[in-house]
Each structure stands twice: as structure tokens, then as C-alpha cells.
């Protein structure tokens, strides 16, 4: 995905108009991120190739057996390559961040996201997936 600086500015200005001039920066950033993710999920940037082909997957919830296995299995079954992973158990809470290459999968970003949403629902945890490029762009705001 190649979002230009100008397109990011346009989205940011649009969000500020929607939220008002007094909106806190965190709220603006969150809403810009959502708009960019929505555009990408709907395929509005399908004609523009992803720079990296990687996504960042963040998950957390109450720890239970099989969390890593379930998420990893869904990714493996769909030809996604886990390139980096970190997890931590904080008392009874589970957290995990993964960097995953999805360039080899036949599934779309939306389809992978939907599969992970099903896992999240089954296991009563939260899973967020975002393109690495969106993550990088959002930290330039």
C-alpha cells in the first residue's frame, strides 16, 4: 500500500472536521487509523501493492491453554509466515504480538482478519490485525 503524505493529511483533516478542533490527539490518531484500515479492508487500495506484505497481529485476554497454537494454526493453514513473535503471561493475562508475512496466502487481508476474529470469539480474547505499512504511517502523524 502506498499512501502518500497528502492522502494521510486529507484523512487527518477529515477526521479533525468530524471530531472538532478540541479533539485529543489520541482520538484523532485512532480515528485516522480506523479510516485507513476501512479503506484497505474494502479493497480501495487494491490497485496499489503493499510495500512489505506484512501485518502486525496483537492479541490479549485471559490466559488459557492453546491460545498461541490456535492463532498459529490459522496462520499456518493459510500459508502465512510468522516472522517474529513475542508473548508474555502477566499473572492470568496473556499478551502476544506477531509480525506475519501474508504475501504467500491466497486469502485477502479481510479474509485473514475474519478468520482471526472467529478465533478471538471462540477463545474470548481480543485480536487486532493491521498492515505493517498502516502501522508505520500512523506513527508519522
**72-124 pLDDT tens trace:** 999 999 999 999 999 999 999 999 999 999 989 998 888 999 999 999 999 99
pLDDT for residue 31: 81
Mean pLDDT of 39-63: 71
Task: Judge residue 23's burial from the number of C-beta atoms within 10 Å of its C-beta, 0-12 exposed, 13-18 middle, 19 or more buried.
Answer: middle
The structural domains of the chain, with segments of one domain joined by +, span 5-48, 54-137
* Cα 94 to Cα 60: distance, rounded to the nearest angstrom: 5
pLDDT for residue 59: 95
| C-alpha angle 19-131-67 in degrees, rounded to nearest 5 | 105
* Pick from 38, 59, 53: nearest CA to 125: 59
pLDDT for residue 40: 65
pLDDT for residue 52: 65
Report phi then psi at 4, rounded to 5. Answer: -80, 160
**Any idea which of 30-39, 48-57, 63-72, 77-86 has the lowest mean pLDDT?**
48-57
In terms of CATH, what superfamily is 54-137? Answer: ACT domain (3.30.70.260)
* Cα 23 to Cα 52: distance, rounded to the nearest angstrom: 32
Amino acid at each position: 500500500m502506498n499512501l502518500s503524505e497528502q492522502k494521510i493529511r486529507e484523512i487527518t483533516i477529515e477526521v479533525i472536521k468530524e471530531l472538532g478542533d478540541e479533539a485529543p490527539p489520541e482520538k484523532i490518531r485512532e480515528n485516522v487509523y480506523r479510516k485507513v484500515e476501512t479503506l484497505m479492508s474494502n479493497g480501495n487500495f487494491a490497485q496499489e501493492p503493499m510495500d512489505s506484505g506484512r501485518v502486525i497481529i496483537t492479541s490479549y485476554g485471559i490466559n488459557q491453554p492453546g491460545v498461541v497454537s490456535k492463532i498459529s494454526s490459522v496462520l499456518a493453514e493459510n500459508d502465512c509466515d510468522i516472522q517474529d513473535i513475542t508473548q508474555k503471561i502477566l499473572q492470568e493475562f496473556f499478551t502476544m504480538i506477531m509480525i506475519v508475512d501474508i504475501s504467500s496466502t491466497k486469502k485477502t487481508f479481510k479474509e485473514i482478519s475474519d478468520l482471526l476474529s472467529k478465533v478471538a470469539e471462540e477463545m474470548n480474547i481480543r485480536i487486532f490485525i493491521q498492515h505493517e505499512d498502516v502501522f508505520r504511517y500512523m506513527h508519522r502523524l
